Amino acid sequence: MNILAVDTAGKTLGVALLQDDRLKYECYLDGGMTHSETLMPLVDHCLKLCGLTCADIDLFGVNAGPGSFTGLRIGLAAVKGLALPRQIPCAGVSTMAALAYGLAGEGTVIGAQDARRGQVYWGAFDLAAHDRLTPDTAAPVTTLENFVQTCKKPLFFVGDGATLCYNTYKNVPGVVCVPQPMQVLRGAGVALAARAMWERGECVPPAALLPDYHRLSQAERERAEREKTEGKQNEV
How many angstroms separate the CA atoms of 5 and 191, rounded?
Answer: 5
Provide the sign of the torsion angle of the four alpha carbons 127, 132, 137, 140, taken in this order. negative
Looking at the predicted structure, is the pLDDT value of residue 138 above 90?
yes
How many angstroms separate the CA atoms of 109 and 155, rounded?
Answer: 6
Q: Which pairing describes strands 59-65 and 119-126: parallel, antiparallel, or unpaired? A: unpaired
pLDDT band, residue 223 (cuts 50/70/90): low
Residue among 65, 38, 55, 69 at smallest CA distance from 4: 55
The 8-class DSSP code of residue 204 comes to: B
Q: Where are the domains of the chain?
A: 2-95+186-218, 103-183
Asked if CATH classification 3.40.50.20 holds for the domain at 2-95+186-218, the reply, yes or no, is no
Contact indicator for 91, 203 with CB cutoff of 8 Å: yes
Mean pLDDT calculated for residue range 164-176: 97
How many angstroms separate the CA atoms of 194 and 97, rounded?
Answer: 9
Q: Tell me whether domains 2-95+186-218 and 103-183 share a fold.
A: yes
CATH of domain 103-183: 3.30.420.40
How many angstroms separate the CA atoms of 147 and 123, rounded?
Answer: 11
Contact indicator for 43, 79 with CB cutoff of 8 Å: no
How many angstroms separate the CA atoms of 118 and 137, rounded?
Answer: 14
Q: What is the pLDDT of residues 75-112, one digit of tens each?
A: 999 999 999 999 999 999 999 999 999 999 999 999 99
Q: What is the pLDDT of residues 19-55, one digit of tens each?
A: 999 999 999 999 876 899 999 999 999 999 999 999 9
> Alpha carbon 64 to chain centroid distance?
7
Contact indicator for 57, 88 with CB cutoff of 8 Å: yes
